[in-house]
Copies of this chain bind each other. A is one copy, B any other.
Amino acid sequence: MADEKLPTRAEDFSEWYNQLVLKAQLADYAPVRGCMIVRPYGWALWENIQQALDRRFKATGHQNVAFPLLIPKSFIEKEKHHVEGFSPELAVVTIGGGEELAEPLIVRPTSETIIGHMWSKWIQSYRDLPVLMNQWNSVVRWELRTKLFLRTLEFYWQEGHTAHATREEAVEETKQMLDVYTDFAMNDAAVPVIPGAKSDAEKFAGADTTYSLEAMMGDCKALQFCTSHFLGQNFAQAFEVKYLDQGGVLQHCWTTSWGLSTRVIGGIIMVHGDDQGLVLPPKLAPTQVVIVPIFKNDEEKAVVLKTAKELKQRLIQANLRVTLDEREGFSPGWKFNDWEMRGVPVRVELGPKDVAKQAAMLARRDRPGKEGKASASLADLPATIEKLLAEIQQALFDRALAFRRSHTRETQTYDDFKKAVENGFAFAAWCGNADCEEKIKEETRATMRCIPLDPAAVLGNGGTPSSGTCVYCSKPSKNRAIFARAY
């Protein structure tokens, strides 16, 4: 567990990440190449993420459903961009119940096709619209280069799917869900994200427009946090999803889809983690407070554990997620390291002297060492800790935002641009041409992450002009885009 130290982030960020995921017992490698096992601690984190999102989905009128895992192979071929995008990544079931199947089945890589097929049965009239659905499941995409949480053959996610009577409504839904994700990212995950539109080269296979949230990791690379797609009438046409409008005319629906996956766990690790291990935002942490009792003999043990148990109950009553570490055979110091590796936001150290003073030592995970420690009175401890957790939540966000801004540069020249993407985001005018985008990628390994919806928020400098000349070809450019090397 925490017996061996991690490599530092400066030494080897990638290996720091890989070892952290294993040592914090978030996940492990499965026997099938590229698949992962999400262990109890990682799954508890995912459950908190699920609850935080599911609450928001339901509040915006969405209902959960379950569409099957297995999809006829022919379905994927009905939408021309979709088949191009997904065909190389499919897992195909060819044998069922001991017999070769007449039509092979694919393990879903995403569910637009099978949902489109069912909607064509269920949706008849404008009265049936909008249809607002979501499902929590796993999907399979045959990735070649995999990394736990960030890119695995099978991953866990939610996929929202909606159908609307008008283009405007569908566009509004696409943006609403991007806002829902932004609210979650900023307020719960403490990850300062940049909402924006993807380029045609980077958009979802079958979408008219893809929006995403982009975040900066601790090594200054970008991570796509989640996506929201306006699918136009592409899938509605491919699957004949039609409705009778109020004038009695048969119309194709306008559809959207949007998804967020276990990849965000990788994002949370790489945004907040430090050389001691994981640092979790309090709102999502499976354990928000760990109590570590300290004693030298049975007499001290009895006194300390009695107080520790009372304290635990009081913290539970204050709706905090608490663990009392009563494990035998481990020193307090070993336990401190172990819980630091696991990123628990607040540690309560409780020894006989603390009990005598009716106090406890609080240690903040986001400020390791003495700087983050302070003694607090037991009497007010639940309130003190609640306040501290809110402070930590805000501090994590502030630190990540400052880091991102300090590693994001507005670049006017291509030389400047090339330097910027060596170690951060470049924010630059771009003509919108796919050729420039492709050349930039070839020459710098930086991809177009998004055209920010709120350019002024990228650097927080109160608004910069949104037109100029393309950083690559110097042609006039209406938009400025974020470019970065990315996961």
A residues engaging B (CB < 8 A)? Answer: 28, 30-32, 35-40, 43-44, 46-47, 63-72, 75, 87-98, 104-105, 107, 114, 117-118, 121-122, 127, 133, 137-138, 140, 142, 144, 153-154, 156, 329
Q: Are the C-beta atoms of B67 and A30 separated by less than 8 Å?
A: yes
Bound complex: CA A90 to CA B40 (Å): 28
10 A-B pairs with the lowest CB-CB distances in the bound complex, closest first = A97-B142, A40-B63, A92-B95, A38-B66, A35-B68, A30-B68, A94-B94, A96-B142, A91-B93, A43-B64
Q: Are the C-beta atoms of B98 and A88 separated by less than 8 Å?
A: yes
Q: Are the C-beta atoms of A40 and B72 separated by less than 8 Å?
A: no
CB neighbours of A107 from chain B (8 A): 69, 93, 107
The interface centre, meaning the residue of A46, A89, A98 with most chain B CB atoms within 10 A of its CB, is A98
A56: shortest Cβ distance to chain B, in Å?
Answer: 16
Q: Are the C-beta atoms of A69 and B118 separated by less than 8 Å?
A: no
CB neighbours of A64 from chain B (8 A): 40, 43-44, 47
Copies in the complex: 2
A487: shortest Cβ distance to chain B, in Å?
Answer: 20
Q: Say which residue of B36, B40, B63, B142 sits within 8 Å of A43 (CB atoms).
A: B63
Q: Are the C-beta atoms of B32 and A71 separated by less than 8 Å?
A: yes
Q: Are the C-beta atoms of A32 and B68 separated by less than 8 Å?
A: yes
**Which secondary structure dominates where chain A touches chain B?**
mixed
The interface centre, meaning the residue of A70, A121, A142, A154 with most chain B CB atoms within 10 A of its CB, is A70
Q: Are the C-beta atoms of B95 and A31 separated by less than 8 Å?
A: no
Bound complex: CA A93 to CA B117 (Å): 24
CB neighbours of A91 from chain B (8 A): 70, 93, 95-97, 105
Bound complex: CA A124 to CA B47 (Å): 28
A131: shortest Cβ distance to chain B, in Å?
Answer: 10
Q: Say which residue of B40, B92, B122 sits within 8 Å of A96 (CB atoms).
A: B92
Q: Are the C-beta atoms of B69 and A114 separated by less than 8 Å?
A: no
CB neighbours of A156 from chain B (8 A): 66
A328: shortest Cβ distance to chain B, in Å?
Answer: 9
Q: A92-B95, A94-B92, A95-B92 are in contact. Are A68 and B154 (CB under 8 A)?
A: yes
Q: Are the C-beta atoms of B38 and A70 separated by less than 8 Å?
A: no
Chain B residue with the shortest CB-CB distance to A40: B63
A173: shortest Cβ distance to chain B, in Å?
Answer: 17
Q: Are the C-beta atoms of A69 and B154 separated by less than 8 Å?
A: yes
Q: Are the C-beta atoms of B94 and A95 separated by less than 8 Å?
A: yes
Bound complex: CA A67 to CA B117 (Å): 30
CB neighbours of A144 from chain B (8 A): 97
Known pairs A68-B154, A92-B96. 19 more at Cβ < 8 A?
A: A28-B122, A30-B67, A30-B68, A30-B118, A32-B72, A37-B67, A37-B118, A39-B65, A43-B66, A69-B69, A70-B91, A87-B98, A89-B97, A90-B97, A93-B94, A94-B95, A96-B142, A96-B153, A107-B107
A327: shortest Cβ distance to chain B, in Å?
Answer: 9
CB neighbours of A114 from chain B (8 A): 30-31
Chain B residue with the shortest CB-CB distance to A286: B63
CB neighbours of A71 from chain B (8 A): 31-32
Q: Are the C-beta atoms of A138 and B69 separated by less than 8 Å?
A: yes
9 A-B pairs with C-beta separation under 8 A: A37-B65, A40-B63, A47-B64, A69-B107, A70-B140, A90-B95, A91-B93, A93-B94, A93-B107
